[in-house]
Amino acid sequence: MSATAGDSHQLRWALTAVRMGPALMLLILVVVLSILSPVFLSGRNLGNIGLETSVVALLALGQLMVIITAGIDLSVGSLIAFSSVVGALWVRDLGLVEGWLVIPSMMLGGALAGAVSGTLFVKGKLPHPFLATLAMMMIARGAALLISEGQPITGMPDAVRLIGTYRLFGVPVAVIMVLFFALLVHLLLTRITWGQWIYAVGANKEGARRVGIPVDRVLISVYVMSGFFAGTAAIVVSGQTNSAYPTAGNLLELSAIAAVIIGGASFFGGRGTVFGALVGALILGVIQNGLNLLNVNPSWQYVALGVVVILAVELDVVRSRLETRLRSVQVEEKVERKEAQA
């Protein structure tokens, strides 16, 4: 084996190890916390982790598609409050308690807000989606406060409460919902042309435009999906509290972004998987749950999460360098093969 071939083999192994970083991180956390707390691996506590993680996981599914296009959505936390209030108004003002009406209205409220953000960014020719989604974050929060007059609206349909609190054979319904949508998003990203377009736009927007991909429509669509998942997360939040809080979802957009980045997606676009996003959300949930079980000061949770985000970003830097080096070595291998054949 030549020196170049040996380097290529080692680089592939190193790259595989780095790509498995988030999953290994989660495994280490589970092992350590199961040793420190005998309650951690109990069925009840695992269900609690799933329930606590479900909201961030739903937001992360939408945020994943946005980040793959090299974008960001800061509005999703506020859209949880807005969508919750929209759903509660159906019950309070119209007397409708049918979940089949309230639940779609919450999803639709988030999707429409996402459509506004995406259209503002694309058609308004804004330099970055940060600006459009920041504006929507403030508009949605303000609208939720105005409509509710700053007070929680109690009383949600049975279907909403079921999603937020009920467990089926010990598994929270919210977790089942997350798994269903995770499979759906995975299929969308990997099995249809639209998903391929999302990755192409994130990897090279101008190149995608030159080959005929409808870049503007793709960009708007991912913000619609992000808003849709914010509305879906609002169902879980409202079901857990049996009410709509205009302050709900505060800072959850940061948790969703952190989950996607921890899961291996890149802020530069073109990279990210559903599995990684779910692993990132679980890492956040496991850390929070574990520290609570150990009676650690809640302030340390923010420190721990910050450290995990830094590690994830560093892994992304290392991965990028390894991929660059591997491509260089592969080129050298091709040159060596051609010279040997000559």
What integer is the mean pLDDT of 288-309? 84
Report the share of the chain in percent with pLDDT over 70.
91
The pLDDT of residue 5: 56
The pLDDT of residue 207: 93
Burial (CB < 10 A; 0-12, 13-18, 19+), residue 95, is: exposed
pLDDT of residue 333 exceeding 70: no
The pLDDT of residue 339: 66
pLDDT of residue 335 exceeding 80: no
Bridge partners of residue 153, in order along the sequence: 244
pLDDT of residue 97 exceeding 70: no
What integer is the mean pLDDT of 92-97? 64
Are β-strands 243-244 and 167-168 bridged in parallel, bridged antiparallel, or unpaired? unpaired
What integer is the mean pLDDT of 177-189? 96
> Do residues 63 and 257 lie in contact, with contact meaning Cβ atoms separated by under 8 Å?
yes
| 3 state DSSP class of 213 | coil
Q: How many CB atoms lie within 10 A of CB 205?
A: 18
CA nearest neighbour of 58 among 199, 341, 255, 318: 255
For the whole prediction, is pTM greater than 0.85? yes
Answer left, alpha or beta for residue 167, where phi above 0 means left and psi between -120 and 50 means alpha: beta
CA distances (Å), origin 8, targets 177, 323, 333: 42, 11, 9
What integer is the mean pLDDT of 315-334? 74
> Do residues 214 and 113 lie in contact, with contact meaning Cβ atoms separated by under 8 Å?
no
What integer is the mean pLDDT of 301-305? 79
The pLDDT of residue 1: 47
pLDDT confidence band for 94 (50 / 70 / 90)? low
Between CA 186 and CA 200 the distance in angstroms is: 16
pLDDT confidence band for 212 (50 / 70 / 90)? very high
What integer is the mean pLDDT of 118-145? 94
Task: Find the helix or strand (DSSP H, E) in which 243 lies.
Answer: strand 243-244
Q: Which residue has the higher pLDDT, 118 or 243?
A: 118
What integer is the mean pLDDT of 312-326? 76
C-alpha 326 chain-centroid distance: 29
C-alpha 292 chain-centroid distance: 23
pLDDT of residue 173 exceeding 90: yes
User: Can you read off the two tokens belonging to residue 19?
Assistant: 């790509």
> Do residues 55 and 282 lie in contact, with contact meaning Cβ atoms separated by under 8 Å?
no
What integer is the mean pLDDT of 246-274? 89
The pLDDT of residue 90: 79
The pLDDT of residue 316: 74
pLDDT of residue 182 exceeding 80: yes
HEC profile for 244-296? ECCCCCCCHHHHHHHHHHHCCCCCCCCCCCHHHHHHHHHHHHHHHHHHHHCCC
What integer is the mean pLDDT of 269-278? 92
The pLDDT of residue 106: 92
pLDDT confidence band for 168 (50 / 70 / 90)? confident
Q: What is the full DSSP assignment across 122-177?
A: HHTT-S-HHHHHHHHHHHHHHHHHHHHTTS-EE---HHHHHHHH-EETTEEHHHHH
Between CA 56 and CA 249 the distance in angstroms is: 10
What integer is the mean pLDDT of 204-225? 94
Task: Find the helix or strand (DSSP H, E) in which 244 lies.
Answer: strand 243-244
What integer is the mean pLDDT of 259-273? 88
| 3 state DSSP class of 2 | coil
The pLDDT of residue 20: 78
Report the share of the chain in percent with pLDDT over 90.
54
User: Can you read off the two tokens belonging to residue 289?
Assistant: 């749950």
What integer is the mean pLDDT of 159-164? 89
Residue with tokens 């093969």: 337
| 3 state DSSP class of 183 | helix
Cβ within 8 Å of residue 108, ≥6 positions away: 231
User: Can you read off the two tokens belonging to residue 130?
Assistant: 């940060």
| 3 state DSSP class of 326 | helix
Summarize pLDDT for 255-264 with one digit per residue, the tens: 999 899 888 8
What integer is the mean pLDDT of 149-154? 87
Residue with tokens 């949508």: 181
HEC profile for 81-98? HHHHHHHHHHHHCCCCCC
DSSP state for residue 70 in the 8-state scheme: T
What integer is the mean pLDDT of 86-98? 73
Mean pLDDT (the chain) is 88
pLDDT of residue 216 exceeding 70: yes
| Least confident piece of the model among 202-216, 224-238, 291-305 | 291-305
